[in-house]
Amino acid sequence: MKKLSAIIICVLFSISAFSLDLNLRVTPGIVAPLKSDRYKTGFGVFAQGDLDFFGFMNAGVEGNVLLTSATGINESLSFAGGGLGLSFYYAPLSRLHLGAGFAFGPYITSGVISSSGLYWRTYGEVGFRATPELTLSFTGNFIDYETIRNGRFLNGINAGIGLKYVIPIGKKGSSSLTASFVQDEAAFPLFMTAYRNFELGTITLKNNEASEIRNVHVRFRAGKYTASTYESANIPVVQKHSSVEVPLLADFSTEILKYSENGRINGELIIEYELLGKKKHSEQNIILSMNNRNAFCWADPTAISAFISSGTPEVQQLASIISGVETNHLIQGMNKNLQMSAAIFEGLRLFGIIYSEDKITPFVDYHKVYDMDSIQYPLQTMTYLSGDYDDIGILLASCLESVGVPTGYMILDDDFILLIGTNIRVGTELNHFASSDGLLIDDENVYFGLSMADFQKGFTQSRATAFEKIAAAKKEIDIPYDYVNTEYAWAIYSPAVFSSSGNVFEYPTRVEIEKATKKAIDDYINSDLAVVVERAKASKDPNKIGVALFRSGKIKDAKAQFSKSDSISCLNNLANCYMAEKDYDSAAKTYEKVLAKDSSNKIATKGLNSANEKLGR
């Protein structure tokens, strides 16, 4: 018996260093022996001292006293026992406590019968937690007393009302929720909206309360630098004395883009949670390290899309002025996006944008490494009237996206290639270009490129250089080419709109834009569409020849070709030529000829309605 007691004490001292809380419990109740013909209903008390482990298990010692009497004998019989216990518990609701356990140990009796041996019991309990420290429980037991020689002596069922009190020991802490924050790297203002999904760092929450906490909400704000108090995490349950890690997220405002130097900002971590149904609130100051607004690391080239901002007011104004001029001179049938990109490109050159290598962090060096680069926002390039390859490409892409021309980009060792989406149906690119070798074609679009290394040489040379470089990249076997679709990239890296009031710019004149754009378009006609026309002539199909001529702006020649046939295709295209010349009466009559052949022809029906509308019919 002494050895068993010594073992129990040693085990308790050994494990107490790892325990969380000490639970003291007293459970008085009624004991009903199963053999009522031998023993009367009695009274029992169980006292337990448990150490709490892992937030769901208790282990410890207990003592118990049972008072009863044998049937037909007035003298009392008492049992006194003590031993080890193990139990498990769970709190499905804030106030509800469920538990089950097992205990065993030696016992002795006194009174009318003297005996000793071992007892064991198993029990379950349902409790109400009045406070984190105090729980009132209804407990049901089955207990069995065995003698060493004669076997079972007494067994019965016990029911009682128990009281448990929790005393924090071991891993002590303040009776609250604490938070610590670790930031692995300084944040980038460029990704002001991306940090709603990408973590700024890691928050470690430590529950030092005497009970689990529920519905934990973690939010962050930083004064004028944040647009809202943004939620980082919503945790259903954090067990007592447990820690959880959550990401820190933020909804930054455009004020963060005024951060022109590396530094720090003060923020507040707001934590709300429930403790046994009662709402609690905690606030903690944290400091965020920030890079300057122009900082960028090329680890993920897709992220460069955040600089491409079609929503910057100054960009929108510049692009609308240039595109407004070109809109009045668009050639019917020719790809609109190509014409618009030529106008925007030449308009930026006339605006005064020139190439200027970044002497501190040049593009040709820094895009190959993970060192911190410095890249300009579109407004900055407009203000400085210069930029490196990437800076000019970003400004041009921003202007094009603002007028509805889709873009992308390729990062080459010595160049930033801006990709222009034509919206040409895949498979028909040779109806618009002399060759597809230097085009980038995916499942959705056909792109041609513009070399920012040759920006100052004009649209035609820039397009020719990009064509050669894309063709070479497509042939590369060891290093497959890659590109970024701007609008797809925006789904991850939303554009950062850096704007400033009070900027006064001198815009190019209408005459300058018209002249420069016309030259670029004429070069395209001579270099590409002339080849397309010759290919069409080889087919001897008047419709194909007419379409090629129409795309080249040669409407009179196109009409001559379409007039050679009375097919529905030729008649529809002839009517389209009349519409382009604003000869709406001739167009209407030609569409009517088509409908006389095919009354359900959708092209002719739509065209006739349009012509009649122009004629006021």
3-state SS, 575-615, equals HHHHHHCCCHHHHHHHHHHHHHHCCCCHHHHHHHHHHHHHH
Q: Mean pLDDT in the chain?
A: 90
Span 129-178, pLDDT tens digits: 988 889 999 999 999 988 876 767 788 899 999 999 988 775 554 558 88
* Location of structure tokens 């945790």: 235
Instruction: Tell me the mean pLDDT in the region 473-485.
Output: 81
Overall pTM surpassing 0.85 (yes/no): no
Give the Cα separation of 515 and 519 in Å (integer): 6
Model confidence band, residue 17 (pLDDT cutoffs 50, 70, 90): very low
- Least confident span in 209-218, 290-299, 307-316: 209-218
Residues 6+ apart with CB under 8 A from 540: none
Span 228-282, pLDDT tens digits: 999 999 999 998 888 999 999 999 999 999 889 999 999 999 999 999 888 999 8
- Least confident span in 168-177, 266-275, 337-346, 404-413: 168-177
Model confidence band, residue 295 (pLDDT cutoffs 50, 70, 90): very high
Query: What's the distance, Cα to Cα, between the start and end of the chain in Å?
Result: 114
| Residue 72: per-residue pLDDT | 66
Tokens linked to 282: 């905690």
Q: Tell whether the model's pLDDT for residue 354 goes beyond 90.
A: yes
| Residue 102: per-residue pLDDT | 95
| Residue 3: per-residue pLDDT | 53
| Residue 36: per-residue pLDDT | 62
| Residue 53: per-residue pLDDT | 83
Q: Tell whether the model's pLDDT for residue 588 goes beyond 90.
A: yes
Model confidence band, residue 509 (pLDDT cutoffs 50, 70, 90): very high
Residues 6+ apart with CB under 8 A from 293: 189, 190, 256, 257, 258, 259, 260, 377, 498
Model confidence band, residue 12 (pLDDT cutoffs 50, 70, 90): very low
- 172 vs 40, higher pLDDT: 40
| Residue 607: per-residue pLDDT | 92
| Residue 617: per-residue pLDDT | 81
Q: Tell whether the model's pLDDT for residue 54 goes beyond 80.
A: no
Instruction: Tell me the mean pLDDT in the region 73-93.
Output: 88
Residues 6+ apart with CB under 8 A from 396: 344, 345, 348, 418, 450, 452
Instruction: Tell me the mean pLDDT in the region 586-607.
Output: 92
Q: Tell whether the model's pLDDT for residue 285 goes beyond 70.
A: yes
Instruction: Tell me the mean pLDDT in the region 61-71.
Output: 88
Q: Tell whether the model's pLDDT for residue 439 goes beyond 50.
A: yes
Q: Tell whether the model's pLDDT for residue 332 goes beyond 90.
A: no
Tokens linked to 224: 């004028």
| Residue 16: per-residue pLDDT | 44
Q: Tell whether the model's pLDDT for residue 15 goes beyond 50.
A: no
| Residue 257: per-residue pLDDT | 93
Q: Tell whether the model's pLDDT for residue 199 goes beyond 90.
A: yes
Give the Cα separation of 129 and 12 in Å (integer): 26
Instruction: Tell me the mean pLDDT in the region 541-565.
Output: 93
* Location of structure tokens 């010692």: 61
| Residue 591: per-residue pLDDT | 93
| Residue 114: per-residue pLDDT | 80
Q: H or E segment at 61?
A: strand 57-69
Q: Tell whether the model's pLDDT for residue 530 goes beyond 60.
A: yes
Give the Cα separation of 313 and 502 in Å (integer): 12
